Structure formats: C-alpha cells, structure tokens
Amino acid sequence: MSDFNKQAGSLTEKAGISPPEITNVSAINQIKNKRRHKPSAEELISGILLGNRTALSRAITLVESTNPEHTEKAEEIIKSCLPHANKSIRIGITGVPGVGKSTFIEAFGTYLTQAGKKVAVLAVDPSSTISHGSILGDKTRMEELVKDENAFIRPSASGENLGGVARKTRETIILCEAAGFDTIIIETVGVGQSETAVHSMVDFFLLLKISGAGDELQGIKRGIMEMADAIVINKADGDNIKKANQAKLEFNRALHLFPPKKSNWQPKVTTCSAITKDGISDIWNTISDYFEMTKESGFFQEKRNEQNHFWMMETINEQLKSNFYNQPGIIAQMEQIKKAVQNDEISPFAAAQFLLNEYKKGF
C-alpha cells in the first residue's frame, strides 16, 4: 500500500453529530408570513414615529432602492417624516482605512448612549468596482453598540458615489431623526477622491488620524484638513502615546496656517484611544463647545439652510442623469455609439452631443 493510501484514512471526514431537526413549524410560518407582508407607507410612518427599528429599517431599504416602483412610497414616507426631523446633531467621521473608525465609533457611541443620547450610526461601506458588491460588515465590528437599546446601526453600500456617501444617506438622516435619534453619526469609506458630500450633510466634521503614518503635514491632505472641525489622533495607547502627542503638536501648528473658518471656530486637535476609552469624553466636550458657539452665532442654522439648497441641486442633477440613461431612445443607441467611440469613429465629445440631442427630442 502506498504512503498516500495509508494516510487516506486520516484525511477522510468522520461522521459527526447530526443537528436536531427543527420542529417549531408555527414559528417558521410566522416568520414567512411576516416577510411576505409588505407594510403600507402609513404603517411604516407610524412605526418610525413610534421608534420601531424594524419599520425604520424597512423604510430605509425603500429609500435606498433603485426600483421605480418604490420611489413614490419612499417619497411619501420622507414627506411625512420631515416635520419630525432636524432635531438632532449630525457628526461626520472620516479617516484613512486602518485608522480605527469603527472601533472609535463604537467607543464614542457607547459613551453617548450611557450619557442618555439616542445614537444612529450610518456606516457607508465601499462597493467593489468589479463586482459592485459590498461586505457591509460594520455591525460585526461594533459588537457592543449593536446590542445597545439606544443605538441603531445601518450599513449601506457607497455604490458609485465619490464622496463615500450612499446615494440616499441624506434622506436616511431624516428618517432616523423622525424615529427619535438625537445624534446621527455618518462613517465614510475613508479619505478618497472627495469628502464634500459628507461635509455637506453634517454639522460637525471629525477627521481621525494615526501617528507615525508619515502624513502629518503632507500638502495632499490640506483639503480634507480645511474641512475638519476637529482632528483626533487615534490609537494613543501603550508605546504609541509619545508619537500621538508629537503628532498632535504638528497638526496644531499646521492648522494655524489655514485661513479662518466661516464659523470663526478654531479646529481642535486631541488624542484618544478607542480601546482604553481615554480621551473620548474630551472629544464630546469639544463637539459640545462647537455646537454652543455656532448656535449662538446663528452659523448652525445658516449652514443647515445652505445644505438644504445644496441637496436640492444634487437631487435635480441625480434625477436628470437617471432620466437620461433610462430614456428608451438613449438605451437603444448607447451601445452603438459606445462602440463607435471605442473604435475612434467619432470623438467622445461629438458622441456625447449626439446623445444629448437625441435626449432633447424626447421632450
């Protein structure tokens, strides 16, 4: 017998213990019936206003859906929830991958819920440019917060958005506020091509950094640093405390070189450890100071008004784009024009103008 045959016995799977049969047929049928039932817009609105998380989750799914059949229902829900919104503070949190955003948000969110706050975390996960899929694993990285009765975590795929914000995050904020959440945290996919979308829907913008990454004073980070209302050096624990404090000094020096903000707020730099919870309370104190100052000066409401205008224009742009690509005449000619451009038979600019002219004929 060969050595392989001698070892074959150790490689074969041994019979294990069979799992018990599921006998609770009633429970199975109950779950199936609940999934089969599609609640009306009125039922979802009522549930949201009562703080029902299931109703909130299902409404957000409708809002995020690209199915035209869901649009009217989603708009009805948003319209009814709008009078109950705008009563929260909105905090955007960004930082490079690996900076510890999810761990920080769990520590920060837990601190807030223990202080009596109701926290909604809208975590935006990056979508694959190849498969267009997204892991949506933020809940698994916030094990404690996800079990907190005063917290709600909703992961969403970023899709094709450059700013790291899901297409309907703005509307989702409205639904969460109507459900009674007074603190909305938006976690972005990280510092990428543009964070303007995040900045345009939050009241306070927090940039997470880590020390020793070699990017303390790089000019390439100037844009994102100018938008930040606070910079937090995370992972300031153990042997890294000294490096974190040094990074804090360097960022403080850099911020003084930037022009003053319209709000007259001077961005703060602080350190924290999401693991040991050190510095978490100081961050909340900084945010509270910001809100107190901007509300007294009127900047808070002024910024909210500007954001409403910005998102009206963004919605128009999005709808025009959607109408263009879904017009039958455009769909019929798109592939042919695309091949002509790829084969250098027509310039991209002439092709675009041709398609736009065809689109105008549809009116």
Q: At CA 274, angle to CA 228 and CA 242, rounded to 5?
A: 80
Q: Give the dihedral sign, CA 162/190/102/279.
A: negative
Query: What DSSP designation does 239 have?
Result: G
Pairing of strands 230-234, 89-94: unpaired
Using CB atoms within 10 Å of the CB of residue 69, give its burial: 0 to 12 exposed, 13 to 18 middle, 19+ buried.
exposed
Query: 222-253 in b/e burial notation, b at 16+ Cβ within 10 A?
Result: eebbebbbbbbbbbbbeebeebbeebbeebee
Phi, psi dihedrals of residue 232, rounded to the nearest 5°? -115, 125
- Which residue matches tokens 């050595």? 3
CB 145 within 8 A of CB 153: yes
Phi, psi dihedrals of residue 54, rounded to the nearest 5°? -65, -45
DSSP 3-state of 44? helix
- Which residue matches tokens 């510095």? 279
Q: Could you read off the pLDDT tens digit of each residue along the chain, which spans 363 residues?
A: 455 454 545 455 556 666 666 567 777 777 666 666 788 999 999 999 999 999 999 999 999 887 778 888 999 999 999 999 999 999 999 887 788 888 999 999 999 999 999 999 998 765 443 443 334 445 556 878 988 999 999 987 655 554 435 568 889 999 999 999 999 999 886 555 446 677 888 999 999 988 866 554 444 356 678 889 999 999 999 889 999 999 899 888 888 888 888 899 999 999 999 999 999 999 999 999 999 999 999 999 999 999 999 888 888 888 898 889 989 889 989 999 999 999 999 999 999 999 999 898 876
Q: At CA 303, angle to CA 163 and CA 215, rounded to 5?
A: 45
Read off the tokens for 219. 């000019």
Give the DSSP letter string of 99-154: S-HHHHHHHHHHHHHHTT--EEEEEEEPPPTTT------GGGG-TTGGG-TTEEEE
Across the strands, what pairs with 271?
Answer: 233
Q: At CA 207, angle to CA 290 and CA 274, rounded to 5?
A: 95
- Which residue matches tokens 């809940």? 139
Greatest distance between any 2 Cα atoms in the chain: 88
